Amino acid sequence: MVRNYALLLFFSTIQIVNAQNLVVNASFELFDKLPIKFSSRPEEFSLPGWNSPSNGTPDHYHANSMGETGVPNNWAGKSNAHSGNAYVGIYAGSLRNSYREYIQGKLIEPLQKGETYGIEFYFKLSSNALYSGSRIGLILSDSLQFFNHSNVIEILPSVNVVRPPLDAGNWELANTLYKAKGGEHYIIIGNFYNDVQTEMEILKFRHGRSEMLSGSCYFYVDDVKVESLNSLQSLPHNTTVFKQDTIKKENSFILDDVLFFFDDFKLKESSFITLDSIAGLMQTNSAWKANIQGHTDDLGIDAYNYRLSIKRAESVRSYLMSKGVAGSRIFVEGFGEKLPMTISEGSKHLNRRVEIKFIIE
């Protein structure tokens, strides 16, 4: 849950120890039968740990496949996997009808009541889709579900992404922290909002790429994760508190608790509390905007460091958008190694950072 920080913004540092992904076949690498064409019946989408929960027909793509269901080239467009060699694809909106596709996955074990879990998955608009949609999400269930239709499953999702529909072309992150009710054993991913609630935007330059996607939004999905964060350990001596009335126009803050995996732009789960706090602050102050700035140390090639700093800033932007902050309010910049905090050899890790500047009009 995103807290509404009307007076205070809390930044805290946390650690995750021995977290296990509970999702079976989380990146869709395993298969019973290699896909050779897109699905025409729901039972044709059957992977270890995954199925279709409705009459919709999601698709599986794999680098070892050819033609219609290959990676990176397939009938829906061209894309490498977010990781590994495979991903799946689902219809998430249409101007012609209310058709939807969903994927249902099983967890290794049910969620434990009261425990906090980190939930995430990556999604990407396919390059042949003529329309981009504003919504995708995830629900949890205590039992295997089946809906005898191929329309919208209107259930309030646990993970809900509201994104600017014109954003297209990159892998995006959907994630949240979730306190378990207990017994949740299955997840379903897709768009749980009807056509009125889903904003669709035409991408005119894609006209003619695919007749099957000429009126639809189609997302690739990869790297689904549900991890217990019950082992989170607070470190209060590293906690920083910012009072809202001290955040002045154009102030810039270093986000010490926003961390990434080494040589990567993927956020660590320990960043979520800080970013949830920022999202809450921006929701409280709807006129505020933010400039996210990425920085690196001087190890490696300048051009590579510049691209990495941009991608890390974009990851922060994507996370805030997943919490309901409009993308039009968040700007990103990358500086690579150009603006170091220190030149001391023993302190260069301080140069690997993300900063946020609040734009208050």
pLDDT tens per residue, range 164-180 = 777 677 898 888 888 89
**For residue 114, what is the domain's CATH number?**
2.60.120.260
| 311 and 219 in a common domain | no
pLDDT tens per residue, range 121-141 = 999 999 999 999 999 999 999
Residue 249 neighbours by CB distance under 10 Å: 10
Separation CA 339–CA 248 (nearest Å): 22
Instruction: Give me the number of domains the chain comprises.
Output: 2
| 352 and 269 in a common domain | yes
**For residue 257, what is the domain's CATH number?**
3.30.1330.60
User: Percentage of the chain with pLDDT > 70?
Assistant: 86
Q: Name which of 24-28, 211-215, 237-241, 312-316 the model is least confident about.
A: 237-241
Q: How many CA atoms lie within 13 A of 207 on its CB side?
A: 4
Mean pLDDT of 260-268: 78
In-domain check, residue 36: no
Four-residue CA torsion sign, 39, 43, 46, 52: positive
Q: Is 85 exposed, middle or buried (0-12, 13-18, 19+ CB in 10 A)?
A: middle
Question: Per mean pLDDT, which of 121-125, 203-207, 236-240, 284-288 is the most reliable?
Answer: 121-125
Q: Supply the DSSP string of 50-70, one letter for each residue.
A: EE-SSS---EEEETTS-TTB-
pLDDT for 80 equals 95
pLDDT band for position 248 (cuts 50, 70, 90): low
Between these two residues, 7 and 70, which has the higher pLDDT value?
A: 70
Two tokens at 288? 């505020």
Return mean pLDDT, the chain. 83
The backbone torsions φ and ψ at residue 278, rounded to the nearest 5 degrees and listed phi first, read -65, -40
Q: What is the CA radius of gyration of the chain?
A: 21
Mean pLDDT of 205-212: 80
pLDDT for 278 equals 84
Mean pLDDT of 317-334: 88
pLDDT for 233 equals 41
Angle at which helix 302-322 crosses helix 272-284, to 10 degrees, equals 60
Q: Name which of 2-16, 102-116, 294-308, 341-355 the model is least confident about.
A: 2-16
In-domain check, residue 51: yes
In-domain check, residue 26: no
Identity (one letter) of the amino acid at 39?
A: S
Mean pLDDT of 261-280: 79
Give the residue numbers spanning the domain of 98: 42-228
pLDDT for 245 equals 55
pLDDT tens per residue, range 45-96 = 989 999 999 999 999 999 999 889 999 999 999 999 999 999 999 999 988 7
Cβ-based neighbours of 274, under 8 Å, separated by 6 or more? 11, 12, 255, 257, 258
Separation CA 361–CA 359 (nearest Å): 6
In-domain check, residue 171: yes
How are the residues of the chain apportioned to helix, strand and coil, as percentages rounded to the nearest 5?
15, 30, 50
pLDDT for 234 equals 39
How much is the pTM? 0.64
In-domain check, residue 258: yes
Of the candidates 194, 228, 262, which is a domain's last residue? 228
Two tokens at 301? 């090639």
